[in-house]
């Protein structure tokens, strides 16, 4: 059961501490009436964007009606079932209004647009006070279903219009989600091959184990959800016009990491290719001890820790560059 808080009760002096503790626990939670923390103007986002953008073109995703709003792949192929397009913003809103009176219609959405690109200084009115440095992003569309995927940043998502259903899966569910190859992630984030509305349990038998680990919640206007980094989430917009504003804190989107963890994962898989399971298990134990469990050289002075130092300074960057050069030279010889 997902833990719930109420934003209207967070006006006390310790609100930031309560929020910080909840986020540090890295467990999802719901914040009902989060609009109390954001102000009345938060819910007027469509008017604000319409005045600022007018007929400026914006990126739009279009999903043919046959897929009933599901954003993902065509059946069990690796071909995306949607098209990318651009539309004048006001024409996009007109299409949303027109489609709201249609049944079995095209699904359209303007996804993950940073408000700072569209509202100049006014975007700061939509800041999340507990993460004031984070640029909010807006998602607008009709009825869509984004299948399970993850982000590598912590995420607060607030419903500004309509209703949304979220289903979350912990990182431990990853082996049961039948993820598509990384090179075929339609929007950059790895996604499941499974159609959550009608799972093919013959083809994806372990998906039932992922479902058993999942948590589901429906949010109304003004409600928010915290999604920890690397928690898989499936998101369904339930009304003919839906608006979501989200805040990604940390992760790739906010930082220019020299090495992305996925890149490290690819190198690890290449390094372990062809090794026996016993050897893989032994290396896993070593990685667990040296990469994930604190400081493996806590018994040594900091200046002598070398490659296993937990600092990341100019020397570490140079050492990393040398490792990459050696790997590249072996691959290309």
How high is the pLDDT of residue 69? 92
- pLDDT averaged over the chain? 90
Return the beta strands (E) in the chain as ranges. 3-6, 29-32, 57-63, 70-71, 83-88, 107-114, 137-141, 145-149, 154-161, 164-169, 215-219, 224-227, 232-237, 242-249
pLDDT of amino acid 329:
87
Residue 253 clears pLDDT 80, i.e. is over it: no
- Strand, coil or helix: what is 18? helix
Q: For 154-213, how does the pLDDT look when each residue is reduced to its tens digit (9 = 90+)? A: 999 999 999 999 999 999 999 999 999 988 877 778 899 999 999 999 999 999 999 999
Phi (first) and psi of residue 242, to 5 degrees: -130, 140
Can you give the pLDDT at residue 11? Answer: 63
**Distance between first and last Cα of the chain:** 54
What pLDDT score does 12 carry?
A: 63
Q: Are 144 and 63 in contact (CB under 8 A)?
A: yes
What is the DSSP code string of 185-202?
A: -TTSS-BBSS-TTS--TT
- Residue ranges per structural domain of the chain: 3-249, 261-332
Cβ-count burial 42-62 (b if 16+ within 10 Å, e if not)? bbebbebbeeebeeeebebbe
Q: How confident is the model at residue 314 (pLDDT cuts 50, 70, 90)?
A: confident
Q: Residue 197 is encoded by which pair of tokens?
A: 């509305």
- Cβ 139 vs Cβ 246: under 8 Å: yes
Under 8 Å CB-to-CB from 210, ≥6 apart: which residues? 148, 169, 173, 176, 177
Q: Supply the pLDDT for residue 327.
A: 85
- Cα 179 to Cα 244: distance, rounded to the nearest angstrom: 25
- The predicted model gives 287-297 an average pLDDT of 88
Residue 250's Cβ-count burial label (10 Å; 0-12, 13-18, 19+) is middle
Give the pLDDT confidence score for residue 121 in this predicted structure.
81
Residues 19-70 have pLDDT tens digits of: 899 899 999 999 999 887 887 788 999 999 999 999 999 999 999 999 999 9
Measure Cα distances from 63 to 96, 237, 245, 282 in Å: 13, 14, 21, 46
Percentage with pLDDT > 70 across the chain: 98
**Block residue for tokens 């140079």:** 318
For 300, the token pair is 């040594």
| Distance set, CA 96 to CA 66, 157, 163, 267 (Å) | 18, 21, 16, 45
| Alpha-carbon torsion, ordered 150, 156, 161, 165, to 10 deg | 40
Helix extents (H) in the chain: 15-24, 45-53, 89-99, 207-213, 261-272, 277-287, 314-332
Query: What confidence tier does 256 reach under pLDDT thresholds 50, 70, 90?
Result: low
Report, at the CATH architecture level, how domain 3-249 is classified.
Answer: Sandwich (2.60)
- Note the pLDDT tens digit of each residue in 66-109: 999 999 898 768 888 999 999 999 999 999 999 987 878 899 99
Residue whose C-alpha is closest to residue 190's, from 217, 230, 137, 144: 230
């Amino acid at each position: 059961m997902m833990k719930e808080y109420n934003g209207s009760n967070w006006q006390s002096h310790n609100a930031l501490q309560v929020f910080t503790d909840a986020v540090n626990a890295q467990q999802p939670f719901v914040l009902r009436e989060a609009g109390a923390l954001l102000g009345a103007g938060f819910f007027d986002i469509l008017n604000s964007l319409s005045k600022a953008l007018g007929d400026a073109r914006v990126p739009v995703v279009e999903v043919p009606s046959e897929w009933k709003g599901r954003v993902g792949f065509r059946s069990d192929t690796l071909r995306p079932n949607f098209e990318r397009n651009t539309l004048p913003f006001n024409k996009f809103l007109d299409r949303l209004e027109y489609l709201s009176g249609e049944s079995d219609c095209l699904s359209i959405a303007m996804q993950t647009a940073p408000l700072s690109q569209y509202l100049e200084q006014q975007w700061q009115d939509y800041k999340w006070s507990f993460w004031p440095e984070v640029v909010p992003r807006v998602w607008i569309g009709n009825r869509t279903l984004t299948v399970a995927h993850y982000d590598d940043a912590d995420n607060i998502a607030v419903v500004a219009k309509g209703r949304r259903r979220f289903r979350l899966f912990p990182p431990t569910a990853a082996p049961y989600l039948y993820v598509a190859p990384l090179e075929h992630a339609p929007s950059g984030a790895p996604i499941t091959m499974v159609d959550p509305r009608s799972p093919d349990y013959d083809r994806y038998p372990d998906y039932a184990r992922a479902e058993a680990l999942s948590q589901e919640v429906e949010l109304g206007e003004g409600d928010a959800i915290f999604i920890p980094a690397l928690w898989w989430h499936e998101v369904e917009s339930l009304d003919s016009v839906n608006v979501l504003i989200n805040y990604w804190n940390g992760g790739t989107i906010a930082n220019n990491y020299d090495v992305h963890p996925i890149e490290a994962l690819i190198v690890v898989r290449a390094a372990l290719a062809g090794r026996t399971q016993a050897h893989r298990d032994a290396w896993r134990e070593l990685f667990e001890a040296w990469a994930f469990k604190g400081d493996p050289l806590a018994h040594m002075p900091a200046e002598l820790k070398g490659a296993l130092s937990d600092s990341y300074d100019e020397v570490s960057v140079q050492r990393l560059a040398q490792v990459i050069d050696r790997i590249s030279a072996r691959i290309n010889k």
